[in-house]
């Protein structure tokens, strides 16, 4: 059922279960992206508990609907690889890989609730009347305390592919939509939720402070009820008609909306313009394995230098991952790490190096450390990660 990640990743065990739980209508978009980070107030460690979305409903029950959350971004097993490659307790922190999301959440908050309610009304009216979205494509929830969550089905935006930049696109979409609200209500839009690991309180679970449930509201209730009436409704959970129990998997067929798709594409183009660089660097398997050159300056520095104990393992896994990305086989990478170990007096044992290579190659998809990675930055001679060739390469490829 739930899956705690110990020292090694477990994606092999997860994947068959995932295939069964994939709802058909999401096949085009979800594919490999069915993992979320589930968190609960009474769960040991709170978060870093990666599960298939199909397992979340049962987890909510097992935590008695108290303070349960999940990431609204969905992940592939690349996240498990990332977690397993870290020293110490596996954590999702710092992950920058590709994500997909069934819904764009817009979080409207105000300490007095009423302004947030006014904002939720105006924004949902705008989406229904001006964008003419299908009512089945939007769910509005009272968060249980000070706000509302408007959830927009991402199928409105057309075919949304998994991408590293989806959180940035969402952030920009929220900013554009906030502009549709009058000035004093604009500040109810929470614009801080751009992190891809951000947790969202789950529907029909109890808010730790108010002891009220996060509940879904119909269009009529949103229009007619005041804050007190909504709080009254939230004393009990309410059935979800249009989604599964997590609120993330829709039962409705939703098609592309022209206004939504247009804004999405505009935002996507703007982001690409901002990150595009003139120089295109292509990763290529080195012709001569005796002359390995790393696209990342941090990795190159690690390759060329003596590394103090305490950093050796973290450096070795980064080198192994970089070598896999350069197209070397596990055996070739092992040879290169032995060479590095020898040349720079690193003094890791052959067994340790072999297990590092095993970690770097155990998943179908190689993990790529970001140039912002703490360890790579520590050894990188460049003033900041933006000057690193690999960053340039990544943005030039327009992921
Ligand atoms: Zn770099």
Residue 4 lies in a domain: no
| Domain match, 333 and 245 both | no
| Tens digit of each residue's pLDDT (9 = 90 or more) over 123-136 | 999 999 999 999 99
Task: Name residue, tokens 């991408």.
Answer: 163
What is the number of structural domains in the chain?
Answer: 2
Lowest mean pLDDT segment, chosen from 22-26, 79-83, 255-259: 22-26
Long-range own/partner contacts, residues 207-214 (CB < 8 A, 24 or more apart): 207/67, 207/143, 207/144, 207/145, 208/41, 208/66, 208/67, 209/145, 210/144, 210/145, 210/234, 212/142, 212/144, 212/145, 213/65, 213/144, 213/237, 213/238, 214/141, 214/142, 214/143, 214/144, 214/149
pLDDT at 141 over 70: yes
∠ Cα 382 383 387 (to 5°): 65
Identify whether 91 is part of a domain. yes
Q: Same domain, yes or no, for 322 and 239?
A: no
C-alpha 38/C-alpha 52 separation (Å) is: 9
Which chain residues have CB less than 5 Å from ligand 1, an ion? 296, 298, 371, 388, 390
Q: How far is the CA of 57 from the centre of ligand 1 (A)?
A: 40
Average pLDDT over residues 142-168: 95
Does one domain contain both 177 and 63? Answer: yes
The residue among 272, 301, 329 that closes a domain is: 272
Tell me, in angstroms, the distance from the centre of ligand 1 to residue 143's CA. 40
Same domain? For 123 and 251 the reply is yes
187 and 329 inside one domain: no
Distance CA 389, CA 207 (A): 46
Is residue 142 domain-shared with residue 201, that is, in the same domain? Answer: yes
Whether 279 is in a domain gets the answer: no
Q: Of 223, 245, 272, which marks where a domain is finished?
A: 272
Whether 237 and 319 map to the same domain: the answer is no
> Is residue 3 assigned to a domain?
no
Ligand 1 centre to CA of 391 (Å) is 6
Inside any domain, residue 284? no
Q: What is the DSSP secondary-structure string of 201-232?
A: EPTT-B-TTT-PBPEEE-HHHHHH--HHHHHH
Distance 14 CA to ligand 1 centre (A): 32
pLDDT at 396: 52
- The 10s digit of each residue's pLDDT in 242-262 is 999 999 999 999 999 999 999
**271: CA distance to ligand 1 center in Å?**
21
**What is the DSSP annotation of 82-148?**
HHHTSSSS---TT--S-BB-SEEEEEEE-TTSHHHHHHHHHHHHIIIIIS---GGGEEEEE-SSSEE
Residue numbers of the domain that contains 86: 11-272
**Range with top average pLDDT, 58-67, 160-169, 194-203, 282-291:** 58-67
- Under DSSP, the state recorded for 235 is T
Query: Which among 362, 358, 355, 388 is positioned nearest to 373, based on CA atoms?
Result: 388
pLDDT recorded at residue 278:
43
Helix H or strand E encompassing 301: helix 297-304
Residues 266 and 294 in one domain: no
What pLDDT band is residue 10 in, cutting at 50, 70 and 90? Answer: very low
- Centre of ligand 1 to C-alpha 314, Å, is 15
- 3-state SS of 154-170 is HHHHCCCCCECCHHHHH
Ligand 1 mean position, distance from CA 351 (Å): 28
pLDDT in tens, 269-285: 988 877 665 444 445 68
Task: Based on the fold, state whether residues 116 and 257 are members of the same structural domain.
Answer: yes
C-alpha distances in angstroms, 377 versus 79, 299, 315? Answer: 21, 9, 11
266 shares its domain with 299? no
Q: 303, 294 in Cβ contact below 8 A?
A: yes
Among residues 272, 298, 322, which one ends one of the domains? 272
b or e along 132-141 (b: 16 or more beta carbons within 10 Å of the residue's beta carbon)? ebbeebbbbb
Q: What is the pTM of this model?
A: 0.69
Question: What pLDDT score does 324 carry?
Answer: 92
**pLDDT tops 60 at residue 219:** yes
CA 363 to centroid of ligand 1, rounded, Å = 22
pLDDT digits 0-9 by tens, 294-341: 989 999 999 999 999 889 999 999 999 999 988 899 999 999 999 999
Q: Tokens 């978009």 belong to which residue?
A: 29
* Helix count and strand count (H, E) for the chain: 15, 8
User: Any idea what the CATH number is for the domain that residue 148 is in?
Assistant: 3.30.70.3300
State how far the Cα of 174 lies from the Cα of 258, in Å rounded to an integer.
17
Give me the chain's average pLDDT, please. 87
How far is the centre of ligand 1, averaged over its atoms, from the C-alpha of 295 (Å)? 7
% of the chain exceeding 90 in pLDDT: 68
Residue 80 lies in a domain: yes
**Are 224 and 356 found together in one domain?**
no
Q: How far is the CA of 349 from the centre of ligand 1 (A)?
A: 27
In a domain, 206, yes or no: yes
State in Å: Cα 130 to ligand 1 middle.
45
- Could you tell me if 137 and 190 lie in one domain? yes
CB of 250 within 8 A of CB of 153? yes
Q: Does residue 5 belong to any structural domain of this protein?
A: no
Q: Separation of 192 CA from ligand 1 center, angstroms?
A: 27
Give the Å distance between the CA of 390 and the centre of ligand 1: 5
């Amino acid at each position: 059922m739930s899956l705690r990640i110990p020292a090694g990743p477990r994606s092999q065990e997860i994947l068959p279960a995932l295939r069964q739980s994939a709802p058909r209508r999401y096949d085009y978009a979800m594919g490999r992206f069915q993992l979320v980070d589930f968190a609960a107030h009474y769960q040991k460690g709170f978060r870093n508990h990666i599960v298939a979305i199909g397992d979340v409903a049962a987890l909510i029950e097992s935590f008695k609907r108290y303070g349960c959350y999940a990431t609204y971004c969905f992940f592939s097993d690349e996240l498990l690889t990332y977690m397993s490659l870290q020293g110490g307790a596996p954590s999702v922190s710092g992950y920058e890989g590709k994500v997909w999301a069934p819904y764009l959440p817009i979080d409207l908050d105000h300490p007095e609730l009423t302004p947030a309610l006014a904002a939720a009304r105006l924004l949902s009216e705008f989406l229904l009347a001006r964008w003419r979205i299908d009512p089945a494509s939007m769910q509005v929830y009272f968060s249980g305390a000070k706000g509302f969550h408007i959830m927009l089905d991402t199928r409105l935006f057309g075919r949304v592919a998994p991408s590293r930049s989806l959180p940035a696109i969402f952030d920009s979409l929220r900013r554009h939509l906030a502009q549709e609200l009058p000035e004093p209500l604009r500040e109810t839009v929470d614009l801080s939720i751009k992190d891809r690991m951000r947790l969202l309180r789950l529907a029909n679970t109890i808010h730790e402070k108010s002891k009220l449930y996060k509940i879904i509201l119909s269009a009529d209730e949103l229009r007619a009820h005041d804050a007190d009436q909504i709080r009254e409704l939230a004393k009990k959970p309410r059935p979800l008609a249009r989604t599964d129990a997590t609120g993330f998997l829709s039962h409705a067929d939703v098609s592309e909306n022209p206004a939504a798709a247009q804004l999405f594409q505009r935002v996507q183009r703007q982001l690409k313009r901002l990150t595009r660089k003139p120089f295109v660097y292509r990763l290529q398997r080195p012709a001569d394995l005796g002359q390995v050159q790393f696209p990342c300056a941090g990795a190159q520095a690690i390759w060329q230098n003596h590394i103090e104990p305490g950093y050796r393992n973290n450096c070795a896994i980064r080198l192994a991952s970089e070598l896999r990305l350069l197209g070397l086989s596990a055996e070739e990478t092992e040879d290169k790490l032995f060479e590095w170990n020898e040349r720079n007096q690193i003094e890791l044992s052959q067994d340790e190096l072999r297990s590092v290579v095993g970690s770097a190659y155990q998943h179908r998809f190689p993990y790529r450390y970001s140039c912002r990675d703490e360890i790579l930055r520590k050894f990188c001679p460049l003033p900041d990660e933006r000057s690193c060739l690999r960053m340039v390469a990544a943005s030039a490829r327009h992921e």
